[in-house]
Amino acid sequence: MINKIIKKIKEGQHFLITSHTKLDGDALGSELALYCMLSDLGKKAVIYNEDKTPDHYSFLPSAEKIANKLDDVSKFDVAFILDCSELERVGEKAKEIARIKTLINIDHHISNNGFSPLKLWDGQASSTGELIFRLFEKMRAKMSPEICTNLYAAILTDTGGFRYTNTTKDTLYAAGKLVENGADPQWISENIYENDSPVKIILMKKALETLSLDFQNQVGSLVVTKSALKESGATYEHTEGFVEIPRSVKGISVSILYTQLEDNYYKLSLRSKGKISVEKIAKKFGGGGHANAAACRIKGNIEVVKEEVLEAIKETR
C-alpha cells in the first residue's frame, strides 16, 4: 500500500492537502510536512483547511501558505486527507474533495471508517505525523529542517508531550531523527506550550474555582463558563491544556473540561490516564478521538450533563 502511495506522489503534479476542522498540532504539522516535501520535489501543492490556524501554530514553517478557501478542485490529481477517520471531518467541502481523482488518507484513528481505499493507516501509531515520518523514510525524502520541525510538532502534540500511552520506542526514535535533522525541541515546545496570552492565566484562576474531584469514581473536572471567558477577556483557544489540571491529581483517572458554548450547551474535552478509554465515552455522545484524548458536545444544564457523563463512565468501566 505504501508503495502505491509513493507511486502516486511521483506521478502526481497538483496536490490538495487537507485535514479536519478544529485543527490541532498533528493535523497542521502533518499537512505542512507533506507540503514541504512536495514542494521540494517541484510539485504543486495547496493546503486547504476550513478552520483558521490557531495562533500558537503560526510559527510552523510554511504555515502562511495555508488557505481557508477552496475554489476549483478539478485541477488536483491527488487529495491527501490527513488525520481524518471520516471524510466528513474536513468540513463543508467534503463532497467536492471526494470528486478528486485520487484520495489518499493518512490517519491513525482507531475509528477510521475506511472511506479511502488508498490509505496509510495504523491505529497504533502515535500520530499522523509519525505515519508521515514512516512514509518519508520509505521514500527516502530529504528531511529538511522545515519538514522535521513540522513533524516534531505533530508528534509532540498528539502524544501530550510524550506522555500519553501512544508514546512508543518508534515515536521517540522518530523524534530523535527529527532533532538530528534540524528540529529544535526547546523552540518548538516554547512556541506551542510557553507562548500563552496572560489572559489565559486569569481564565485558569477562574476555572480552578470550579474544580471538582470525585475520588470514588476517579473523575476530575473543570468548567469554563461563557461569563468566565468574557470577564477574563479570553477566547475558547485559551482553554487549551486546562483539562490536564484535574488529570494531574493522584487518584483521578478521567479528566474532563466542560466549556460552555451556549446556554445549556457544552463542549467536553476528555483525557484518560490509560485505564478507561475516553474515546468510548465521547462516542456515546456523538464525539470521537483516541483512548487517551477525546471530545464531544452535549446539550443540557451543566449538572445534568455531568450526571450523564458520569453514568457513561460507569458503563465504560
Q: Going edge to edge, which strands form the sheet with 14-19?
A: 44-48, 14-19, 78-82, 102-107, 119-121
- Region label for 4, one of left (φ > 0), alpha (ψ between -120 and 50) or beta (otherwise): alpha
**Least distance in angstroms from the C-beta of 244 to its own copies:** 8
Nearest approach in angstroms of CB 29 to its own copies is: 16
- Taking CB under 8 A as the criterion, which residues in 191-250 touch its own copies? 193-198, 200-201, 204-205, 208-209, 211, 213, 245, 247-250
Q: How far is the CB of 164 from its own copies (least distance, A)?
A: 6
Residue 60 contacts its own copies per CB under 8 A:
no
Whole-number Å distance between alpha carbons of 125 and 172: 12
Contacts of 229 (CB under 8 A, 6+ apart): 203, 235, 236, 238, 260
User: Which DSSP state fits 92?
Assistant: T
CA 18 to CA 84: how far, in whole Å?
A: 9
Min dist. Cβ of residue 91 to its own copies (A): 29
The partner residues of 47 in beta bridges, in order of sequence, read 17
Q: Is 263 helix (H, G, I), strand (E, B) or coil?
A: coil
Contacts to its own copies from residues 65-94, by CB under 8 A: none
Structural contact between residues 102 and 12, judged by C-beta atoms closer than 8 angstroms: yes
The answer to the question of residue 163 lying near its own copies (CB under 8 A) is: yes
Comparison of 250 and 317: residue with beta carbon closer to its own copies: 250
Contact between 190 and its own copies per CB under 8 A:
yes
Stretch of residues binding its own copies (CB under 8 A), selected from 5-13, 75-83, 92-100, 190-198:
190-198
What is the three-class DSSP state of 120?
A: strand
* Per CB under 8 A, 185 contacts its own copies: yes
Binding residues for its own copies, per CB under 8 A? 161-165, 167-173, 175-177, 179-180, 185-187, 189-190, 193-198, 200-201, 204-205, 208-209, 211, 213, 245, 247-250, 252, 273-274
